[in-house]
Amino acid sequence: MGGTEYLAEIKTAQSEIQLGKKLVNRCKNSFDNSQLKLAGGQFSGYIAKSPQFMPHLRNAELPDMDTIERGSFNVRLPKVYEGMLFVGDRTLLEESYVDAVGGKDHHNLPQIGVQLAAEGGVTSGTVVRTVFGGTEEMPLRGISYLLPPLIYLEQLKEKGIVPPQLQIIFANNISVTLNHLDHERATDQAVQFANFAHEYIREYFPQVSESAVFLEDTLIEKGSVIRDELIDVYRTLKTELSPETRDALLGKGNNGSSRLNPFYGAAHLLVHDTSIPGMLVPLVEDQPDVVTPQAIISFGGYQEGIFYDVRQEIKPHLREEYRSLPTLQYFTKHRVPPYYMARGGDYSLDATLQGVRYDGGKVAKTAQYDLGYLHEVTRTRGTIDFADFVAQHGERMAA
């Protein structure tokens, strides 16, 4: 037996002593039932299964537990991994609208799962984040951006796990600064969306309705924490990013927008990789206390791919604050950012609340997919038809 094989056997033996052989095998089965593919890294394109996760499970650190806690933990851990990988009947992964899990930090999944199984989402400080860019006209399909993380939380809750807090973040001030948007309009759109989303979650995802909070970035002004961090990360990005990733980043977008992409890249690290105080504040009142992240699970659409690469490439060159939190990234099937109106036609939230009804023939094909997904998930939930729900919400706003 070679040295590498011998060390692997030692690690396997150690993990079986720490976790127990039966639990190790049950976790392996959970991983092997995954149909979720990896995006990025050495296993990009592979279906994420036990060969990608077991080596990292063997290195996972277990918190102190008494005998009773350990028994409950042993039951929960394989279920946590099933929830994190959308393991279930054949329709679950389709309903989740998740296309892949990031292959450059997938090694964190076993440890995050251990913390969720041992302590639950709130106590462990595990949070789920999805980020909206600032906009002057929010599409109705923005709600569809929340469904994958909500289904994720719901899966964990149904398996007996206290779910992580879903932190829905609006990058209003960064977007206003970079894109010269009307600040008041962008804020109004974010608040209107947050109020609508809050009611939507209560109606259609009641099990996890107390797990969502709405946040926004703070003002970018001289001497502010967020401005200083943004500039610091931007400078590092400019000097340390590989030529290949830099070219891909600058090649994203058109009409001159690509020159702003390095700033967007820097902004992504601020919200997806760290929890530096002073950068995020509650967007609306009367919501649960904000959990301080100890681990960040991110959900984002197709456009997040290049920014994910930037994050993973730049983190080693930044301060410890950007490397101390384990992260995990899920990519959804959203092709066009659902906080921008799609070219070729889309339905704004404003128009919808004013009585304009959904008609798939009047919107761009990419937006149709998101709207179709929203309606498909919603039609099997709640006590009221989605169109009626929208109409009632619009009436309350107008009153």
Note the pLDDT of residue 19: 82
Structural domain contains residue 352: yes
Dist CA 154 CA 378 (whole Å): 14
For the stretch 235-271, pLDDT in tens is 999 999 999 999 888 876 544 556 678 888 999 999 9
What sections of the chain are H helices per DSSP?
Answer: 3-19, 21-32, 50-57, 67-84, 92-96, 109-124, 147-158, 172-179, 183-204, 225-240, 243-250, 261-272, 304-314, 349-353, 365-378, 386-398
Is residue 36 in a domain?
no
Residue 361 confidence (pLDDT): 60
Q: What is the pLDDT of residue 15?
A: 53
Nearest 5°: phi and psi at 75?
A: -75, -40
Q: Residue 273: give its domain's CATH number.
A: 3.40.50.620
Q: How far is CA 108 from CA 64, 83, 95, 191, 304, in A?
A: 20, 15, 24, 33, 19
In a domain, 46, yes or no: no
**The Cα angle at residue 106 between residues 104 and 112, in degrees rounded to 5:** 135
Q: Is 10 contained in some domain?
A: no
Asked, for residue 44, whether it belongs to a domain, the answer is no
Total count of domains within the chain: 1
pTM of whole model > 0.85? yes
Question: 107: domain range?
Answer: 71-398
- The rounded distance, in Å, linking the Cα atoms of 110 and 13 is 17
How far apart (Å, rounded) are the C-alpha atoms in residues 271 and 296?
9
Q: What is the pLDDT of residue 7?
A: 44
What's the CA gap between 279 and 216, in Å, rounded? Answer: 8
363 close to 346: Cβ distance less than 8 angstroms: yes
Q: Which residues of the chain have pLDDT under 50?
A: 1, 6-10, 12-14, 254-255
Nearest residue to 293 via CA among 156, 61, 110, 122: 122
Spatial contact of 174 and 265, defined as CB atoms under 8 Å apart:
no
Residue appearing with tokens 């609340």? 353
Judged on CB neighbours under 10 Å (0-12, 13-18, 19+), 290 is: middle
Establish if 6 belongs to a structural domain. Answer: no
74: nearest Cα among 111, 110, 114: 114
- Report the DSSP beta bridge partners of residue 299: 330
C-alpha distances (whole Å) from 275 to each of 219, 260, 279 are 17, 23, 8
Residue 81 lies in a domain: yes
pLDDT number for residue 255: 44
294 falls within a domain? yes
Cα distance between residue 204 and residue 50, in whole Å = 34
